[in-house]
């Protein structure tokens, strides 16, 4: 079965650079979530989209922005990167926005900021 | 403050043995509780999800319990296998009137199954 696809899997950037992470949800899923997991930490919710509209916002820095496109894929844009942004970024998708809908996680993008 | 606490932090068991992982939460208002399995460097995989009215749910060798009164949950793994070695994360949803709800994650229990 198709799963959530994230690209790239690994990314190395320098401070103050920009990065774009992409997430392709499971086919027919209409909701996308972004999470940030720092080294040895639990994942932190960043932002979510339902039917191409932002549905919820968590601890996403102002330097980050995201959107969901007409084909339901989502992109997380990160600017003015800082060392502390080094983390594993997970995207999850679900069919529907109900709290009972299972979120299926992608493999993550490991971002390293030097 | 909404928090999810898990114990033990790490656990080593022999292959074939059973084990139980604990999760205590202070999330309010409570919506549902999920257990995820996360392999190192991989995305979490959902094992079970339970609402307020459910107190037991099984998924193969995994059985989760929920006591909404004491705000405790447990994940019991029977006949452990080497492939069960992973982090097990307890995740609780905060109930809101509209929109989806973000999840409050515990720090996980690191389980190692050895031969």
Cα distances from A71 to residues A21, A54, A89, in angstroms, run 16, 15, 21
Encoding tokens for residue B56? Answer: 């037991």
What confidence score (pLDDT) does residue A36 get? 93
Residue-wise pLDDT for A12-63, tens only, equals 999 999 999 999 999 999 999 999 988 877 788 899 898 898 888 888 899 9
Secondary structure class of B3 (helix, strand, coil): coil
> Cβ A43–B101 below 8 Å, yes or no?
no
> Cβ A99–B45 below 8 Å, yes or no?
no
Neighbours of A98 (CB within 10 A): 11
DSSP assignment string, A29-89: --EEEEEEE-TTS--EEEEEEETTEEEEE-S--TTEEEEE-TTS-EEEEE-S--GGG-EEE
> Cβ A90–B41 below 8 Å, yes or no?
no
Rounded mean pLDDT, B83-111: 81
Distance from CA of A64 to the nearest CA of B (A): 18
Would you call B16 exposed, middle or buried from its count of C-beta atoms within 10 A (0-12, 13-18, 19+)? Answer: exposed
Give B46-53's long-range contacts (Cβ < 8 A, gap of 24+): B46/A102, B46/A103, B46/A104, B47/B75, B47/B88, B48/B75, B49/A100, B49/A102, B51/A100
Cα three-residue angle B80-B59-B41, rounded to 5 degrees: 65
What confidence score (pLDDT) does residue B52 get? 84
Distance from CA of A20 to the nearest CA of B (A): 19
Q: Which residues of B touch A58 (CB under 8 A)?
A: 102
Q: How far is CA B42 from the centre of its chain?
A: 17
Residue B58 confidence class, pLDDT cut points 50, 70, 90: very high
What confidence score (pLDDT) does residue A109 get? 95
What confidence score (pLDDT) does residue B46 get? 84
Put simply, whether A106 touches B (Cβ < 8 Å) is: yes
What confidence score (pLDDT) does residue B80 get? 96
């Amino acid at each position: 079965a198709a799963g959530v696809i994230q690209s790239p899997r690994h990314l190395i950037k320098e401070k103050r650079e920009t990065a774009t992470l992409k997430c392709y949800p499971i086919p027919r899923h209409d909701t996308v979530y972004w999470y940030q997991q720092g080294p040895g930490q639990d994942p932190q919710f960043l932002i979510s989209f339902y039917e191409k509209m932002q549905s919820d916002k968590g601890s996403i820095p102002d330097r980050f922005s995201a959107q969901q496109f007409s084909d339901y894929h989502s992109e997380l844009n990160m600017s003015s990167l800082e060392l502390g942004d080094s983390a594993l970024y997970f995207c999850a998708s679900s069919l529907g926005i109900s709290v009972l809908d299972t979120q299926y996680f992608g493999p993550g993008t490991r971002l390293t900021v030097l | 403050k909404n928090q999810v606490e898990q114990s033990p932090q790490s656990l080593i068991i022999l292959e074939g043995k059973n084990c139980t992982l604990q999760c205590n939460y202070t999330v309010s208002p409570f919506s549902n509780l999920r257990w995820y399995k996360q392999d190192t460097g991989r995305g979490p995989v959902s094992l079970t999800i339970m609402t307020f009215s459910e107190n037991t749910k099984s998924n193969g060798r995994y059985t989760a319990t929920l006591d909404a009164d004491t705000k405790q949950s447990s994940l019991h793994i029977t006949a452990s296998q080497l492939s069960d070695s992973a982090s097990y994360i307890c995740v609780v949803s905060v109930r809101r009137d509209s929109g989806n709800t973000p999840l409050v994650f515990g720090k996980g229990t690191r389980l190692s199954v050895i031969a």
